[in-house]
Amino acid sequence: MTARPAFHHAIPVEDIAAAREFYGGILGLSEGRSAEQWIDWDFWGHQVVTHQVATHPGPAGYNHVDDHEVPVPHFGAVLAIPDFHALAAKLKAAGTTFVIEPYLRFEGQKGEQWTMFFLDPSGNAMEFKAFADEAQIFAK
């Protein structure tokens, strides 16, 4: 039997209720199994699990990319362009503070993409991208 390739990631969060509001309410992810201190999320067909911890330090550092400071580590998803813009609008309406506002990165170059970075309530950095040409995702 061949398994469907899927991403799995565990995310430390300081407040499971705030995680539920952010990941379920703002990002609109479907909640799967859960317990008092963790929640499984359907992250665009992949599994992300928020686990409550006492403290979380946030990004370890930043790398300079296309005149912006990109938080490291970060995780996210590649979306279709209309879904990217719908999510950006939803985040703005919820009052999300962006680390990097939604913009077109590498415009006119290989790898041209819409991108945005923001933090969840526990300081986990997230990036969402969208490509007009998905063949450009790994372009050099």
Supply the pLDDT for residue 58.
79
pTM of the model: 0.91
For the segment 68-89, the average pLDDT, to the nearest whole number, is 95
- Are 124 and 65 contained in the same domain? yes
Q: Could you check whether the bond before residue 73 is cis, i.e. omega within 30 degrees of 0? A: yes
CATH number at residue 125: 3.10.180.10
**Statement: residue 3 has pLDDT above 70:** no
Question: Which domain does 21 fall in, by range?
Answer: 8-52
* Any domain includes 1: no
Tell me: pLDDT of 2 over 80: no
137's tokens: 């995702």
* Domain count within the chain: 2
State how far Cα 23 lies from the chain centre. Answer: 10
Q: Is residue 2 part of a domain?
A: no
